[in-house]
Amino acid sequence: MAHLLVVDDDVAMTKLLKTLLELDGFTVETAARGADALRMAAASSPALFLLDYQLPDVEGVELVQKLREMPQFTQTPIVVVSGRYVEPEVIAAGATAFVLKPYDTVELTILMRQLIQ
């Protein structure tokens, strides 16, 4: 199944999401910082990124732009999640989709499967 990179500094949420996605058959790596996500992405080439908008070291817009600058990720789906409505910003930066928190994990999984296909 597809390899995902989940980037969120909320440890409890990341752990829960990782477990749920793995039960759905995904392979999941996690990072809590944007810098770690960039390093891990370059090493593992995920099929999809799930990014929290607000990270300790970078905002979602900047991370999306940095990922899009990497040739191997120009077409890779990037889903940004946030408790604030920032959809216009993240889509303009190159994100594929935006999901407002709190989100339904089943709907999120369906969206990710659709984007990977």
Kindly list the domain boundaries of the chain, sorted by start residue: 49-100
| 3-7: strand order across its sheet | 27-31, 3-7, 48-52, 78-82, 97-100
* CA nearest neighbour of 17 among 104, 76, 83: 104
Residue 19 has pLDDT above 80, yes or no: yes
Residues listed for the chain: 117
Q: Are 61 and 30 in contact (CB under 8 A)?
A: no
Looking at the domain covering 49-100, what would its CATH class be? alpha beta
Q: Are 7 and 30 in contact (CB under 8 A)?
A: yes
Read off the DSSP letter of residue 79: E
Tell me the pTM. Answer: 0.95
Q: At what angle do helices 60-69 and 34-44 cross, to 10 degrees?
A: 30
Read off the DSSP letter of residue 63: H
pLDDT in tens, 22-71: 999 999 999 999 999 999 999 999 999 999 999 999 998 999 999 999 99
**Tokens of residue 37, six digits:** 């996500």
